[in-house]
Amino acid sequence: MIDKSMLESIKRDMEKAAKDAGPKYGVEIHFAGGTYTDVEATLKLKITDNVKNSDEYMKQEWDKYCGWYGFKPEHFGATVVHHGNEIRLIGFNTDKPKNCISFIKTKDGSKYMCSQEAGHNIFKIPEDKES
């Protein structure tokens, strides 16, 4: 019979294995919840690519695409307080034309997306006026 204490024990053992496996593949592995009954359990595994999640990689990508979205290289990492939360501008999702601007809440690292127009308004990026 599967119970909560058994799952906690299994999770600890799997986290030990994940600490060894993560660096081998250049990723971070975390367990992020799950569900169980007395006969079955499902654990949610979160794997994050360390390279693509690094500030250096995100800055390179920013520099490559910022002009497409009306931003400049120096806007990378800009922080503002929006709806009571400090947020930081980190990049773009070129596969999502509607919500293409990526930012995170600095307090907990939660990632969010918004439209180009909203990104310009939130981060106070002035529109370039051509004379």
Distant-in-sequence, close-in-space partners of 98: CB < 8 Å, separation ≥ 6:
115
* Tens-place pLDDT, residues 27-43: 888 888 888 998 999 98
State mean pLDDT over 58-84.
Answer: 91
Residues 6+ apart with CB under 8 A from 34: 7, 41, 42, 43, 44
Does the pLDDT of residue 62 top 50, yes or no?
yes
Query: Using alpha carbons only, how large is the chain's radius of gyration in Å?
Result: 20
pLDDT over 50 at 131, yes or no: no
Length of the chain: 131
Which percentage of the chain shows pLDDT scores above 70? 93
Domain ranges in the chain are 4-49, 55-122
Tell me the CATH architecture of domain 55-122: Roll (2.30)
Q: What is the mean pLDDT of residues 1-16?
A: 89
Rounded CA-CA distance 13/11 in Å is 5
Distance CA 22, CA 14 (A): 12
Q: Which residues contact 39 (CB under 8 A, 6 or more apart)?
A: 1, 2
Largest pairwise CA distance in the chain: 74
Confidence of residue 72 (pLDDT cuts 50, 70, 90): very high
